[in-house]
Structure 1
Amino acid sequence: MDLQELLENILKGSKYLGTYSLAELLTLTASRHLNAIAVAKEGSSKYYLAFLNGEPEGALFVDTDGSLFGDKAVVHIRGDRDYVLCDVKPDIIDALVMGCRIFEKEHIRKNVMYTVPEIGRKSQGIGVVTLSVRREKQPQNGVRVSIRKDGKIVGSDITTGNGEVSFRVMHGDYVCLVQERTQTVTHFPIIFDESHPFHILDI
């Protein structure tokens, strides 16, 4: 069994802690001294970070060309993705890190400071994005919706009778957070540009 298979098997049996940007991930794990594994997916690529007592100690990057470990993997750990975080026992993390240890931890923190622009995507433009919160096709009134860019909340509002909220923002990639009355929070990644002014968020 290779390291990726081992990681996936561990994650299947682990407690889900939430989905976070890289900046949020580093802040949360450090403040709570978490022992955890974070994973992000983009196309055929996967990005793993292992945290021991709140510190990023291990990294793995996997794509169709193969795998990179430790400091070589960290180059691919960027701040413009959302990472699923799972609670994992410290002894398991300790064993995993032996195969993918990070020595140059400042590289991760540098990656939070900037993101690599995506080729072919328009970076300029501003407009109004409308989000419709629905459950079983029915509009949901009185639900808090926030919209996040690069780990920062850029807008927050409560849905009206038609289940909609609107925000004036720049074109780009965002994460919408829908908080229900039960305090359950669901994350929805969206793209906002001239071709995508409206999104349905099914909770």
Structure 2
Amino acid sequence: MGDVSQETGESRLVFGHYAPTASRLCGFVREWLESFALHMPSPGIEEWLSLVYQIMKKHYKTLRIDGENLLPAISSAVMIAGQTLAESHEPCVVRLASQVLAAIANHSISYGDEAPRHLLASNGPVLTIFLRIQVELLRPTVEYLAEVLFFFAKEFSAETRSVISGLEHGDSPLVAAMFREIGNLRNFKQMTLRLNTASRKDVRS
């Protein structure tokens, strides 16, 4: 990695693309992610998650070209985001964790990468995501979580239904309506938002 600089208040990762050094840089990224995942939870998790998100969102392609570092890096990123999603009650942190997972899911689909797709499916926190979308969260956070859940519902429909059906509200009409929209992300998000609203109303009543 070149450096991390402050730009418009956000961390910006400057990643080398010079071919002779790309593999080494990707190796450093993989090693850092593996080390970070082993030492969770971490102080200042919001800033670190922001960096993980930038790596997965903007530099997935570079990791992908390198090849051997992609799967270990994704595995660590999924572990970091999943654990954070399960444990954090900070809205900004929950949002970032969901963004990390959404970025990985979207890239694995757009590039047609089977190995990362199955890795995310086998380690992705479907149960945690479904539980989180039923509590008080900012709308953008619910939408990011919906993107990740959409990935599972579309790519691994039977397995996702099986996990969710055993949970409270997992067999509700709203959830059934969500699964009917696995061909349309926009509609799926709307149904997820409706489930979030209905669940919060149930808690208050």
Fold equivalence (TM over 0.5):
no
TM-score, normalising length from structure 1? 0.26
The structure number with the bigger radius of gyration is 1
Return the structure number with greater strand share.
Answer: 1
Return the structure number with greater helix share.
Answer: 2
